[in-house]
């Protein structure tokens, strides 16, 4: 899934991984990505480490398996895009006033 460059990137010796929940397919996907990004910003370690840490398993949720071709993910933005696409079915539908105004009833309804 990751490019060799990401797989070969070493974690810093004294770096401590932040504690965060893996995506469990019940919470808001966008909120999960936003929360992860906010937590990782305090640990300025770089985009390559973000990729490796994002899919790291923890106690509450096993490793998330992304179905992508080998060597396809080269940065966190690419990982985030694939993750969003694969789990988009779990995103809650957003209804706005504009959406409701544009609802029309057909003649036979």
Domain that holds residue 15: 4-101
Distance, first Cα to last Cα, the chain: 48
Read off the tokens for 58.
């923890």
On whether residue 55 sits in a domain, the answer given is: yes
Does a structural domain hold residue 108?
no
Q: What confidence tens digit (pLDDT) does each residue in 40-79 have?
A: 888 767 788 888 777 655 544 544 566 777 777 888 898 8
pTM of the model: 0.65
Position 109 in a domain: no
Euclidean distance between CA atoms 62 and 25, whole angstroms: 12
Q: Which residue has the higher pLDDT, 91 or 69?
A: 69
Asked if 92 and 25 touch (Cβ cutoff 8 Å), the reply is no
Contacts (Cβ under 8 Å, ≥6 apart) of 75 = 47, 48, 51
Domain count of the fold of the chain: 1
Residue 94 lies in a domain: yes
Instruction: Note the pLDDT of residue 90.
Output: 63
């Amino acid at each position: 899934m990751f490019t060799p460059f990401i797989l070969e990137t070493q974690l810093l010796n004294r770096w401590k991984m932040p504690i965060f929940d893996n995506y469990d397919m019940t919470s808001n996907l966008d909120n999960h990505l936003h929360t992860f990004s906010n937590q990782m910003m305090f640990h300025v370690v770089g985009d390559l480490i973000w990729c490796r840490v994002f899919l790291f398993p923890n106690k509450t949720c096993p490793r998330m398996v992304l179905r992508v071709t080998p060597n396809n993910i080269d940065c966190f933005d690419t990982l985030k895009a694939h993750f969003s696409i694969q789990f988009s079915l779990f995103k809650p539908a957003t209804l706005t006033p504009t959406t409701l105004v544009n609802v029309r009833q057909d003649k036979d309804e």
